[in-house]
Each structure stands twice: as C-alpha cells, then as structure tokens.
A = this chain, B = another copy of it.
Amino acid sequence: MTDTILKKCEAKGLRMTGQRRVIAGVLETAHRDHPDVEALYAKVTEIDPRISIATVYRTVKLLEESGILIRNEFADGRARYETADREHHDHLIDLSTGKVIEFCEPEIEALQEKLVKKLGYKIRFHRLEIYADPIDSNKTD
C-alpha cells in the first residue's frame, strides 16, 4: 500500500478535478501531522489561492467516505485527518507542541476485547487518546 492518494482516488473512480489534485498533493506531504481543515486550507491556497474552504471540507469528507482518509476528533474539537493506509493505532498528543504520535498496543486491544465481551457487547470501534507532556521538558507539577 505505497500508492499515492491521487492513485487511490483514481482507483476508486473519483472525478479528479484540479482542486482535488491539489488537496491530494497537500495531504500526501502533510498527513503525518494530522492536519485540520484550516491547516489544509492554508497549504492548499498557497498552491492555488482560488480554492475555497468549502471544497476542502467537501473533499476530505469524500475521501473519508471512500476509505482513503480517517477523521479524528481530539480534544480541541476540530476534525483532524490522517491517511487510512496503516494498521489501526491510537494517539498520544504532545501537549507542549501539539504533535501527534501514533502507537499500537495489542495488549490494550486484547484487554478491551475481553472486557467488552464480559459486559455482553461487541466492539464496533473505539478511540484512545493520551494527552501527555515530555518528561524532560519544563514540568508543571
């Protein structure tokens, strides 16, 4: 799965307009930052200032519905996007910088499964976010 976002869009048969190509290109380089729409819009308009924010909203929604992007909502209340081409993972948010670190902890997943089953349920999806500060940066406690 090393295809570019553009290739995946074409593979899904999405009509590739100039605007969507620009947005796909920006996502290609920015998706590791989990950008929100405002951040995407800023980069997109550097490339083509005529693209509207409505188109960015419509495009990320389309890509999410096509299974190409994943929408995250962290504690800041805005939607943040990443590509859907990796294994399931959870997120650690660095409170000092806002940086998002992905992690995967199969043991935690297994414990969740076990617990939920015991409660008589079947997991559809879950989200785990850890908000943390670096150990060696200035501490407030």
Assign chain A's interface to a size class: 35 or more
CB-contact partner of A123 in B73, B77, B130, B139, under 8 A: B130
Q: With an 8 A cutoff between CB atoms, is A1 at the interface?
A: no
Q: With an 8 A cutoff between CB atoms, is A49 at the interface?
A: no
Q: With an 8 A cutoff between CB atoms, is A11 at the interface?
A: no
Taking a contact as CB atoms under 8 Å apart, the answer to whether A132 and B127 are in contact is no
Chain A 76-117, CB within 8 Å of chain B: the 1/0 string? 010000000000000010110000010101011001100111
Closest to A77 in B: B73
Chain A 119-131, CB within 8 Å of chain B: the 1/0 string? 1111111111111
C-alpha spacing A107/B131, complex, angstroms: 19
Taking a contact as CB atoms under 8 Å apart, the answer to whether A122 and B127 are in contact is no
Taking a contact as CB atoms under 8 Å apart, the answer to whether A122 and B111 are in contact is no
Q: Which residues on B sit within 8 Å (CB–CB) of A125?
A: 131
Question: Shortest distance in angstroms between A137's beta carbon and chain B's nearest beta carbon?
Answer: 10
If the complex has contacts A124-B132, A126-B128, are A92 and B119 also in contact, measured as CB distance less than 8 A?
yes
Q: Other CB < 8 Å A-B pairs besides A105-B111, A128-B128, 6 of them?
A: A103-B115, A103-B119, A108-B115, A122-B133, A123-B132, A126-B131
